[in-house]
Amino acid sequence: MGRIFEVRKATMFARWDRMAKQFTRIGKEIVIAVKAGGPDPATNPALRRCIQNAKSVNMPKDRVEAAIKRAMGKEASNYDEILYEGYGPHGVAILVETATDNHVRTVANVKSHFNKGGGTMGTSGSVSFQFKKMGVFKLKPDNLDIESLELELIDYGLEEMGESTDDEGNNIVVLRCAFVDFGKLQKALEDKGITPISAELEWIPTTTVPVTDAQAEEVSKLIERLEQDEDVTKVFHNMG
């Protein structure tokens, strides 16, 4: 098992700003999961994934419970998940995932961010062909028989497995599978008693655009603008 390929990380927020954004994102994901599959995590795999991810960013349990209750209420917002595509400076492809209750506001804001950040917003399909949507599971390497686990999980859709580090520099193991195998791999880990640090659906670039440090800083400023928008949940890029 070698190092798993990851694209260059964009500039990160200050710690507390990043945490607040993560809480907001996961809160919306909980609402979407509950509305689609009910409030019981035992029978709702999407909600179990959200709760796992909440734990990974230290989201308080009472906030998670409040989001579940809010989703069950009649006043809960209905969020639509919409993917926007475009190019940043220096030809870097960018995908923007959003969860919104106001399409008009969101598309106007995303377009404005691209324009002000030196990029161009594209049409559906103009950028996404350069990415592959995959399930991504991050595990703590402690007490894991990595080689045996890799062989066992191939039957459940595992495509890639390798070492990496998190934002704090801690060693982690990253598993990737095709989007359609996400639920199967999630259940396989659960059956083995393995609780991931996080379980996400991500857009992984099939090719990358090499950039200098100065160019990366320009692209990162646009990515940061997008990430700070209240309707944006995740931003993916192919900056190498």
* Overall average pLDDT of the 224-234 stretch: 93
Please report, for the chain, the start and end positions of each structural domain, with discontinuous segments joined by +.
Answer: 15-72, 80-127+206-237, 130-205
- The residue whose two tokens read 């559906």 is 124
**Is it the case that residue 22 has pLDDT exceeding 50?**
yes
> Cα torsion at 178, 180, 182, 183 (round to 10°)?
-160
- Tell me whether domains 15-72 and 130-205 share a fold: no
**Residue 9 clears pLDDT 70, i.e. is over it:** no
Encode pLDDT of 154-201 as tens digits: 999 999 999 998 877 889 999 999 999 999 999 999 999 999 999 999
The CA distances from residue 167 to 9, 15, 30, 120, 172, in Å, are 9, 11, 24, 29, 10
Lowest-confidence segment of 20-24, 93-97, 118-122, 165-169 by average pLDDT: 165-169
Q: Which fold has domain 15-72?
A: Arc Repressor Mutant, subunit A (1.10.10)
Residue 11 has pLDDT above 60, yes or no: no
- Superfamily in which the 130-205 domain is placed by CATH: YebC, transcriptional regulation domain (3.30.70.980)
Superfamily designation of domain 80-127+206-237? YebC, transcriptional regulation domain (3.30.70.980)
